[in-house]
């Protein structure tokens, strides 16, 4: 029993990190532009397809090279999305324009994927397979890779935002766009970089879930939604909350299978989200009280 | 140094400035006074490129700047300390100051030296250096906004309502600092104020704006003796 619970927690942490990355990926865009990227789950799917369909199965490169090539491709894709959608639409009289823009983009990505890669699901044979056994605990290699890479992403993003000039500029843009402009920060360019970074995080998520799911057009629907739930639980727009919210959901939903049937596992995170909205809409952010 | 030439500015269809011209010379302190809604802040924002002039030109050191993008104006050597301070609330004092130097590529020593200058001007900022700017008092935030503006070592610095919402003792401190910035740091200064008496008394020349028009301009000493200015803005 104890080993079963430990195993559930470890798997939960891994899934939790996936949700946390999803949550981070759209939170940085939300903070910079005040807009939600409704095509974010499609970015994840696109990343997985470019990695698997184009680079690994198509051209036949080594997966590591494939990951790097996909990251570069998706970074450029993010730049195009910023220039084509976010920057022109964010200054429109209503946010609705940008919302519709990203929803339309999501549809375009899905259909483009179907056209380019076909409707059948793909798998990458032999990509991060294998298990480790410690006593009676069985941990898949994919789980460890997810946890390791996610921690790396969190740390790198933190260093970027706290230590680099571009990262600090990004935080300024989040807080006050007029003042940022007066400091000489090119707000549109900063937003462009933010969206490109978000696209890169999406790619990393897409690649990380390749060993877990088959690659198909709807592969990221569930994690996309749970990423939103994680963000709401953490306090919308609050990055540390997004990470903790993701981990909480991952661990709780996995542990819930001890008491309820695994079929209902996916409901758990949405129920937690609804309870949080009802009781404390600010989520975990409410726990941090600022000295005034 | 700065020449604003006959500019018209609109917010959508509403005209806010009507053929406004001002001229600022090296090392001067210029005050721009006028009541609420006269167009003072609009003028400042237009110089900074945040608004666009439909007509007229703005020149700085002989170069047209009305077509330059807003984020590039700082690089030309003009800094605007906006009304309501507009500091970055979730950043520490140190980080706010660093961001003030965003347009410069300072080395670590240069950055430290500029910060030391800021602390010399307002020792209070040194005490608060690691505090989040949003948690400071209004006066401290104003000190930070002024110091942040000086970080990029501008040639011209424009203050918009630096006394807004401050206790009288702090108002004096702000104006003293502005005088020091002009005299000791040799910066050209434009100061926009509703607190007209203070602004006129520290400035060399003054422009009076009313409903988007320059209605009066001249030596500050003369305007202090002017009946109409006295009646309208100085409560005399």
Q: Is the pLDDT of residue A28 over 60?
A: yes
Token pair of A64 as six digits: 């590591």
Mean pLDDT for the stretch of residues B135-144: 94
Mean pLDDT for the stretch of residues A76-100: 93
Tell me, rounded to whole angstroms, the distance of Cα A203 from its chain centroid.
9
Contact (Cβ atoms closer than 8 angstroms) between residue B31 and residue B204 = no
Contact (Cβ atoms closer than 8 angstroms) between residue A17 and residue A176 = no
Which residues, including other chains, have CB under 8 Å from residue A141's CB and lie 6 or more apart?
Answer: A128, A129, A130, A131, A132
Mean pLDDT for the stretch of residues B92-119: 96
What is the C-alpha separation between B63 and B76, in angstroms, rounded?
10
Q: What percent of chain B has pLDDT over 90?
A: 86
Q: What is the reported pLDDT for B225?
A: 80
Q: Quick: pLDDT tens for A189-207.
A: 999 999 999 999 999 999 9
Q: Is the pLDDT of residue B81 over 50?
A: yes
Token pair of B188 as six digits: 């050209």
Q: What is the reported pLDDT for A166?
A: 95
Nearest residue, CB atoms, B88 vs list A179, A187, A291: A179
What is the C-alpha separation between A16 and A251, in angstroms, rounded?
6
- Find chain B residues with C-beta within 8 A of A180's C-beta: 99
Mean pLDDT for the stretch of residues B89-115: 96
pLDDT band at B214 (very low <50, low <70, confident <90, very high): very high
CA terminus-to-terminus distance, chain B: 34
Q: Quick: pLDDT tens for B163-192.
A: 988 999 999 999 999 999 999 999 999 999
* Half-sphere CA count of B100, side-chain side, radius 13 A: 31
Q: Is the pLDDT of residue B115 over 70?
A: yes
Quick check: B79 and A185 CB within 8 A? no
Q: Is the pLDDT of residue B68 over 70?
A: yes
- Beta-carbon contacts below 8 Å between A and B: 68
Q: Is the pLDDT of residue A159 over 60?
A: yes
Q: Quick: pLDDT tens for A43-78.
A: 999 999 999 999 999 999 999 999 999 999 999 999
Measured CA angle at A190 (ends B58, A222), to 5 deg: 145
Quick check: A185 and B80 CB within 8 A? no
The chain-wide mean pLDDT, for chain A, equals: 93
Q: What is the reported pLDDT for A292?
A: 36
Q: What is the reported pLDDT for A289?
A: 58
List domains and CATH numbers for chain A: 2-287 (1.10.3470)
For every residue of chain A, which 3-state class applies, written as one string?
CHHHHHHHHHHHHHHHHHHHHHHHHHHHHHHHHCCCCCCHHHHHHHHHHHHHHHHHHHHCCCHHHHHHHHHHHHHHHHHHHHHHHHHHHCCCCCCHHHHHHHHHHHHHHHHHHHHHHCCCCECCCCCCCCEEEECCEEEEHHHHHHHHHHHHHHHHHHHHHHHCHHHHHHHHHHHCHHHHHHCCCCHHHHHHHHHHHHHHHHHHHHHHCCCCCCECCCCCHHHHHHHHHHHHHHCCCCHHHHHHHHHHHHHHHHHHHHCCCHHHHHHHHHHHHHHHHHHCCCHHHHHCCCCC
Q: What is the reported pLDDT for B71?
A: 95
Residue whose structure tokens are 């090296």 = B26
Tell me, rounded to whole angstroms, the distance of Cα B4 from its chain centroid.
15
What is the C-alpha separation between A18 and A226, in angstroms, rounded?
9
Quick check: A290 and B87 CB within 8 A? no
Nearest residue, CB atoms, A184 vs list B86, B102, B135: B102
Tell me if ipTM is over 0.95: no
Q: What is the reported pLDDT for A291?
A: 40
Domain ranges of chain B: 24-45+68-233
pLDDT band at B59 (very low <50, low <70, confident <90, very high): very high
Nearest to A229 by CA among A242, A212, A213: A242
The residues of B whose Cβ lies within 8 A of any Cβ of A are 48, 50, 69-75, 79-80, 82, 86-91, 95, 98-100, 102-103, 132, 134-135, 148, 152
Mean pLDDT for the stretch of residues B148-175: 94
Q: Is the pLDDT of residue B229 over 90?
A: no
pLDDT band at A212 (very low <50, low <70, confident <90, very high): very high
What is the C-alpha separation between B231 and B196, in angstroms, rounded?
12
For residue A15, CA distances in Å to A202, A246, A271 come to 15, 8, 17
Mean pLDDT for the stretch of residues A277-291: 79
Q: What is the largest CA-CA distance in chain B?
A: 53
Q: What percent of chain A has pLDDT over 90?
A: 84
- For A252, left (φ over 0), alpha (ψ -120 to 50), or beta? alpha
Nearest residue, CB atoms, B71 vs list A165, A186, A290: A186
- Long-range contacts of the stretch B182-187 (C-beta < 8 A, 24+): B182/B27, B182/B29, B185/B150, B186/B27, B187/B150, B187/B154, B187/B155, B187/B156, B187/B157
Quick check: B86 and A171 CB within 8 A? no
Residue whose structure tokens are 């009289």 = A93
For every residue of chain B, which 3-state class applies, written as one string?
CEEEEEEEEEECCEEEEEEEEEEECCCCEEEEECCCCCCHHHHHHHHCCCCCEEEEEEEECCEECCCCCHHHHHHHCEEEECCCCCCCCCCEHHHHHHHHCCCCCCCHHHHHHHHHHHHHHCHHHHHCCCCEHHHCCHHHHHHHHHHHHHCCCCCEEEEECCCCCCCHHHHHHHHHHHHHHHHCCCCEEEEEECCHHHHHHHCCEEEEEECCEEEEEEEHHHHHHCHHHHHHHCCC
Tell me, rounded to whole angstroms, the distance of Cα A181 from its chain centroid.
29
The chain-wide mean pLDDT, for chain B, equals: 93
pLDDT band at B65 (very low <50, low <70, confident <90, very high): very high
Q: Is the pLDDT of residue B160 over 50?
A: yes
At the topology level of CATH, where does B24-45+68-233 sit?
A: Rossmann fold (3.40.50)
- For A119, left (φ over 0), alpha (ψ -120 to 50), or beta? alpha
What is the C-alpha separation between A40 and A108, in angstroms, rounded?
13
């Amino acid at each position: 029993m104890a080993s079963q619970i430990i195993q559930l927690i470890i798997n939960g942490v891994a899934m939790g990190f996936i949700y946390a990355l999803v949550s981070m990926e759209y939170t940085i865009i939300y903070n910079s532009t005040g807009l939600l990227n409704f095509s974010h789950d499609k970015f994840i799917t696109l990343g997985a397809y470019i990695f698997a369909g184009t680079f690994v199965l198509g051209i036949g490169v080594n997966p590591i090279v494939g990951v790097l090539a996909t990251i570069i491709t998706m970074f450029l894709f993010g730049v195009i999305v910023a220039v084509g959608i976010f920057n022109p639409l964010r200054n429109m009289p209503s946010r609705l324009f940008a919302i519709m823009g990203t929803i339309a983009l999501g549809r375009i990505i899905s259909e483009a994927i179907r056209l380019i890669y076909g409707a059948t699901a793909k798998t990458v044979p032999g990509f991060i397979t294998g298990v480790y056994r410690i006593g009676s605990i069985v941990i898949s290699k994919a789980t460890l890779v997810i946890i390791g890479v996610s921690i790396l992403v969190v740390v790198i993003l933190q260093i970027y935002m706290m230590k680099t000039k571009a990262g600090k500029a990004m935080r300024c843009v989040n807080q006050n766009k007029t003042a940022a402009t007066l400091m000489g920060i090119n707000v549109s360019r900063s937003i462009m970089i933010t969206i490109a970074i978000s696209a890169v995080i999406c790619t990393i998520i897409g690649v990380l879930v390749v060993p877990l799911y088959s690659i198909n057009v709807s592969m990221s629907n569930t994690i996309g939604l749970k990423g939103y739930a994680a963000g709401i639980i953490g306090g919308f727009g609050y990055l540390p909350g997004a990470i903790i919210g993701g981990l909480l959901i991952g661990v709780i939903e996995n542990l819930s299978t001890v008491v309820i049937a695994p079929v209902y596992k996916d409901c758990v995170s949405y129920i937690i989200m609804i309870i949080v909205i009802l009781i404390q809409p600010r989520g975990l952010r409410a726990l941090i009280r600022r000295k005034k | 140094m700065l020449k604003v030439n006959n500019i018209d500015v609109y917010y959508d269809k509403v005209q806010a400035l009507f053929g406004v011209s001002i001229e600022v010379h090296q090392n001067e302190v210029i005050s721009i006074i006028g009541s609420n809604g006269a167009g003072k802040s609009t003028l400042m924002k237009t110089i900074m490129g945040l608004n666009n002039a439909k007509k007229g030109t703005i020149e700085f050191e002989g170069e047209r700047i009305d077509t330059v993008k807003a984020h590039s104006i700082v690089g030309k050597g003009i800094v605007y300390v906006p009304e309501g301070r507009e500091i970055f609330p979730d950043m520490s004092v140190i980080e706010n100051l660093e961001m003030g130097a965003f347009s410069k590529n300072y080395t670590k020593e240069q950055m430290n030296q500029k910060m030391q200058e800021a602390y010399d001007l307002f020792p209070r900022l040194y005490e608060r250096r690691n505090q989040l700017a949003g948690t400071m008092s209004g006066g401290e935030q104003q000190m930070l906004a002024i110091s942040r503006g000086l970080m990029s070592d501008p040639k011209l610095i424009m203050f918009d309502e630096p006394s807004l919402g401050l206790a009288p003792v702090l108002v004096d401190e702000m104006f003293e600092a502005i005088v020091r910035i002009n005299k000791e740091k040799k910066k050209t200064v434009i100061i926009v104020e509703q607190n007209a008496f203070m602004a006129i008394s520290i400035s060399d020349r003054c422009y009076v704006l009313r409903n988007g028009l320059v209605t009066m301009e001249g030596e500050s000493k003369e305007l202090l003796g002017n009946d109409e200015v006295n009646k309208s803005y100085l409560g005399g």
